[in-house]
Structure 1
């Protein structure tokens, strides 16, 4: 059998692409390594829930407050007005998405991608079967590479795919206690502390009866396990039972090109679509899967390989400016503990709080309040230049 599209990777991006293509009537194979769970805080915005029809039973917690914690342990609690941050457990959420793609008509295979062979107009994805261990081949017309931050598809097929920068993220899933002085099952804690991560942040995210505690860093000398242990000690969670431990790379910048000009297009982490500053990836991965499916469907209909460029164009048309603003914020505030202190001070501002979470929930910059934006810009400049001498407590 020759498939119209083979999707390599069955995370949120690959599963979304496979489902969309199958629903559109295309023959689709989805290849994924069994048993893989990506380390992830698990936060998703209301827009994702609406756009991708996520049932309420997949939401293991609805977060009402975000706590920003500075290097000196000062904190500011930001209420999430007119909405919430949904939390999912990637162990179950990803499998739900894969199952839904399969129910839509995608054929599901367990195995690891080995390469692509081309003979004339015939393309074959070579993979090692996850059950037998034998090397097998599947023929197709197009390939979507959705196989993560260190994507083998990207490395072999797309310019720049072998050099994408990334953060190493690590977390531990624990059995969460009831509410304590330092832990709230309805609050996400984000820790901006160079002792935990000198270039990113740490987190404590509730998942109902469980919690994700972790951090990330680009610096290879950072001991991610010890940093996570320190987080657990500070939060009084050291004695909680550890359910599992996971680590993986998170890309820092979208690739300049997502296709090879012939028959491959990338999606999700493989294309580098994780939000700067926040590291948020699930929503952008699923959008990446959707635009990759749109581009692939167009290419199949017209026979024009250049239609594969549509994936990146559609994504950037809506999200480029958000990525630019978040990237500037990361570059400005993650460089030192002094700047992290100032960033947490800036978070006290009510306009910052409201605009931040409006943008998060709706996935677009809020333009309806020009005076608020101007005030934030002035305060931002004051904090960065040191004109603000007193840090709020």
Structure 2
């Protein structure tokens, strides 16, 4: 890198949040560097809703499968199939999907560099200096490098190094869960009952004491995983049990991936000067569902817009708009999902009742409307009233499971 060059922005991390932020800034005519380390893939079911596909112009060829139903499985193995009426949820392979996003950012003008972020320094005049190890050649050799920049977007995942340096007071207090999945090849002869257009979500304390297990189809492969905040819980053992239950114990394992996942959005995303966070670094993973791709990309877009406004006006207060706008749009949903996870995922008895609630057509309709379009549905007030009384019946033990 040319040490004398000053970028408008450096985006650290090339996942959905970082790649989207770099693309947004490059399209706005900003000089942006996208720094991403090689071989980074996080455990993820790979589900993307229609809102994401529409808002971020995702081409159909990136969808390795289209889920048209979800199956909720209770601890007693009661099964509730929920059709996705008049639509589908896209399934992507994160290895391919993330790289496509990075290439799109580069095509828009972002400078791509493969390397590992080391630290954030300051020049004598206060300008940010991003220091990193840049990969050179084909043997993973690295050399020290640095660039000057007017702004930094930290999109380097949970336990973000950028956050720990630029916002240590909030980053060090953040709590995480551990997620783990295995990508397996679909057998030539799929197990009985297999449906490549259905996502299975399994609620059972033995698979996760505080989350769920999943079996998501990816065309010729599947993602099978779980997560938990409980220390000492065997995620690999749980996934092995889930594979056995799904008839996929003997399927060829292609990848094993694990990573920390943040529990909730950080209380602050910027340093009030020239750094703002996005994606997992900002804590935007939805409670209860664990969904993160849409929220990461939306957060990356907002971070880029905030940086662009800061660069245009010279007012660092613009950086705070990223979190403010995100929480205005999705804060209530995160709050509701957090309460739901805390209550319904706390025991197998409650998980059993939760799956039973999912039989209700009002619940199914409103849940998928909210998921597919990323907004709470207010057009059906009587449905909300009916759900309230049904929930109360379950909470008080008056409803049959």
TM-score range, shorter chain: over 0.9
Q: Indicate conservation of the 8 Å contact 1:174/1:241, yes or no.
A: yes
| Displacement of 1:121 | 2.8
- Among 119, 126, 129, which residue is 1:121 paired with? 126
Are 1:210 and 2:210 counterparts?
A: no
Secondary structure, aligned partner of 1:134: strand
Q: Deviation digits for residues 183-221 of structure 1, max 9, x if unmatched?
A: 211100001100000011100000000000000001121
For normalisation by structure 1, the TM-score amounts to 0.98
Output the CA distance in 1 between the equivalents of 2:275 and 2:396. Answer: 46
Gapped regions of structure 1 (runs ≥ 5)? none
CA–CA separation in structure 1 for the residues paired with 2:263 and 2:10 = 26
Q: Which moved more, 1:67-76 or 1:131-140?
A: 131-140
- State the shift of 1:380 in Å: 1.2
What's the CA shift for 1:50? 0.4
TM-score by length of 2: 0.96
Aligned twin of 1:175: 185
1:1-393 superposed matches below 5 A: 1-119=5-123, 120-131=125-136, 132-158=141-167, 159-177=169-187, 178-388=189-399, 390-391=400-401
Deviation at 1:35, TM superposition (A): 1.1
**How far does the alpha carbon of each residue in 1:78-104 deviate from its partner, in whole angstroms, 9 at most, with x for none?**
000121111000010000000000010
Query: How far has the Cα of 1:179 moved from its partner?
Result: 4.6
Which blocks of at least 5 consecutive residues in structure 2 are unaligned?
none
SS in 2 for 1:62: strand
Tell whether the 8 Å contact from 1:182 to 1:235 is kept in structure 2 after alignment: no
Q: In 2, are the aligned partners of 1:269 and 1:285 still within 8 Å (CA)?
A: yes
In structure 1, what is the Cα distance between the partners aligned to 2:118 and 2:395? 48
| C-alpha separation in 2, matches of 1:53 and 1:294 | 18
SS in 2 for 1:199: coil
Distance 2:7 2:238 in 1: 46
Size of the aligned set, in residue pairs, is 390
Q: CA deviation at 1:252?
A: 1.2
CA distance in 2, matches of 1:233, 1:130: 40
- Structure-2 separation of matches of 1:342 and 1:46: 29
CA RMSD after TM alignment = 1.0
CA deviation string 1:42-100 (max 9, x = no partner): 00000100000000000110001100011111110000012111100001000000000
On the 8 A contact 2:11/2:152 being kept in 1, the answer is: yes
Give the secondary structure class of the aligned counterpart of 2:182: strand
